[in-house]
Structure formats: structure tokens, C-alpha cells
Amino acid sequence: MILGLALAALAADGIDRRTLVEWIGACQEDQAAACLSLGLVYAQGSPPIVPVNLTEAERWLERACGAGMSEGCLGLGAVRETLAGAGDAATFEGARDAYGQACQANNLLACAAEAALYERGVVAGEPQPLRERACAGAHGPSCVALGMALEGAREPEGALAAYRRGCEAGAPDACAALGAMQFLGPRALRDPEAGRANLALACEAGLGETCALLGARAESEDAALDWWRQGCDREDAWSCWKGAQLLRRDSEEESAELLEAACGHGLDKACRKLERAFPAVDEVDAPEAAASD
């Protein structure tokens, strides 16, 4: 997963043989950017010129990291994490060291990656300070992880602050968690108007479950239906279901469409309801066939 994040952030474009040779020469002359490009292209491959070769990627990224490029250290940590097998403590420790070097250079992705190693227990360490550092730097996913940890530690004020920071950084999951706390959290922290606004941000960003909650908290049926339609468009089965139930009286056609969508998104009771409403053709025709006999 972390390797994918690193490559998504840093990936090189397709490469030809001449460029590859030029990068090798430049890296051997201590041009760190060329070492980084080589490491990334070997990590992801660029057929037919460069096959995936993580050992080779590690070699070039070590040079980029050693030259002080935090992106090189991030990529090096990701490659080592991928190379590490079960119980391979030394390689995981190497990944930790590379992430740590990048984190010290204020590479927030690396701070989050190092924290994830500690959270998984593959190396010993405390993830919380790294989450705090990354969240303070406006790395939204770290703010979400920090908020969840603080909620689990019964520190709702700290959790609320972390979610707010993540939401301000543009992380939809943080906006969703912030809005939910403002609606449903400890009474002293509730702020329904702000909660509605933050859930709306998450809904608009594609988190259908937040649209469902907004529908449930809407002040009118029309407003509720609008939120549930949006949630259904974002593949939230419960939004489809709730919209279908509300529309039974006024629009059987749209109600059936929403019910089909709820079934398609995995809600079993919607599928069962469809089966009852629209039995198979052979089941409908069976009594007539029996009567003709």
C-alpha cells in the first residue's frame, strides 16, 4: 500500500533506453534526481525497457536518499517494506530508518508510513507522535488516524481537533468524522449546524454514508430525499433504500429504481423485496399452466 502511495506521488513517465542510460550516468555522477528517477522506474517497471526489479530499485533509491532527497528515502522505505517477508525484522527496520530520515526532513507521507509500521507491529515504536507531526503539517489521513486513536483513548476534545485539522486539509474522511462527532458526540461538543456543513463536504466529496446521515437528520422529506438521492448516486446502499421507501407513495418507478440500486450495492433486504415485488416469470406463469392442464 505504501509503495503504491509513493509511486502515485513520485512515479516517472514511460522511459526509452537512451534516457535510462543517461539517468544511470547522471546518478553515478551523484545527481540525486537521476537516482530517484531510476529507483522509481525500477520499482514500477516500464516495459519493455525496464522490468520491475525491487532489488535494483532499492540500490538506486539508497543513493537518492543518501544524497538527502526525502522523496528518495520515502521510496526506499516503500521498496524495503515490500521486500520484507514475514518475520523479516531487519528489512522492516531498514524501511523504518528510511521513512524516519524522510520524516525528519518533513516528508509527511513518510511520517505516516513510519507510523503505520508501528501500528502493524512489524517494528517496535509509538505511532502517536508521528501522527501528531503529520497532522500538524496538514496530512489529512494522519489526522483521521490520530482522531480515531484519541477517540479510543476517550479524549474527544483532542479527537475533534484532529478531525477539524484533517477536514481543513481537505480529507473527506476527516470531515465525515468531524461532522458525526458534532452531531452525535459528547453533548458539550455538539454543534449540529457545523456538523451538517462538514457532513455535506464529505457527501459532496463522494462519501455516500454521510449523505445518508444528512438525510436522516433533514428537516423535511424533500430535503431528506435530496440527500438520499445523492448518497445513492455515490453507491451508498442505505441511501438508496431510504429513498425508495420514501418514494413508495409518490413515484413507484423511481422507488423501484432506487430499490434496484440498493440491491446492486449489496443490501440483501432490498434484493429480497425486489424478488417479492417482481417474481420470476416462471413463478407467475406456473398457476396458469397448471390451470390449462
Residues of the chain short of pLDDT 50, as ranges, are 1-12, 281-293
**Which pLDDT does position 284 carry in this prediction?**
40
- Residue 83 contacts residue 52 (beta carbons within 8 Å): no
DSSP line for the chain: -HHHHHHHHH------HHHHHHHHHHHHTT-HHHHHHHHHHHHH-BTTTB---HHHHHHHHHHHHHTT-HHHHHHHHHHHHHH--TT-HHHHHHHHHHHHHHHHTT-HHHHHHHHHHHHHTSS---SHHHHHHHHHTT-HHHHHHHHHHHHHTT-HHHHHHHHHHHHHTT-HHHHHHHHHHHHHS-GGG--HHHHHHHHHHHHHTT-HHHHHHHHHT-SSHHHHHHHHHHHHHTT-HHHHHHHHHHHTTT-HHHHHHHHHHHHHTT-HHHHHHHHHHS--HHHHHHHHHHHH-
pLDDT computed for residue 131 by the predictor: 97
Q: What is the pLDDT of residues 77-112, one digit of tens each?
A: 999 999 997 678 899 999 999 999 999 999 999 999
What pLDDT shows up at residue 105? 96
* Predicted confidence (pLDDT) per residue in 112-162, tens digit: 999 999 999 999 999 999 999 999 999 999 999 999 999 999 999 999 999
